């Protein structure tokens, strides 16, 4: 009498190209779904971080530009001299 046994083996592919060999189909499916969820969370987190960093850099540049423009206008309008005269008058 010859006993022939078959094992159910499923290959699970990761998004990175790696492979796992799992013996139980239910576990394979659960692991596959969990791996896809984690990959989605990782991509979402990386995307959010990139957008936040980009917005921060652009926002900082715009704020710098605005403050420089206001400073230039302040000096061109002669406001510095007026502020100095007011400060001198207060001290007297």
Q: Is residue 46 part of a domain?
A: yes
Q: What is the dihedral of CA 76, 77, 78, 84, to 10 degrees?
A: -110
- Distances 59 to 33, 64, 74, 84, 91 between C-alpha atoms, Å: 38, 9, 22, 32, 40
In a domain, 15, yes or no: yes
Is 84 inside any structural domain? yes
Q: pTM of the entire structure?
A: 0.43
In a domain, 82, yes or no: yes
Q: What phi and psi, each to the nearest 5 degrees, are found at residue 16?
A: -80, -10
Q: What is the pLDDT of residues 7-47, one digit of tens each?
A: 555 556 666 666 666 556 667 778 788 888 999 999 999 99
Domain extent, residue 16, equals 10-91
Residue 31 included in any domain: yes
- Residue range 50-91, pLDDT digits in tens: 999 998 888 888 989 998 998 888 777 777 788 888 888 888
Question: For the chain, what is the domain count?
Answer: 1
Q: How confident is the model at residue 2 (pLDDT cuts 50, 70, 90)?
A: very low
């Amino acid at each position: 009498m010859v006993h022939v046994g078959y094992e159910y083996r499923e290959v699970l592919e990761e998004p990175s190209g790696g492979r796992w060999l799992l013996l139980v189909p239910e576990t394979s499916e659960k692991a596959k779904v969990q791996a896809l969820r984690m990959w989605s969370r990782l991509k979402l987190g990386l995307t959010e971080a990139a957008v936040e960093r980009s917005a921060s850099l652009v926002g900082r540049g715009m704020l710098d530009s605005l403050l420089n423009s206001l400073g230039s206008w302040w000096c061109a309008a002669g406001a510095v001299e007026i502020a100095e005269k007011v400060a001198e008058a207060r001290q007297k």
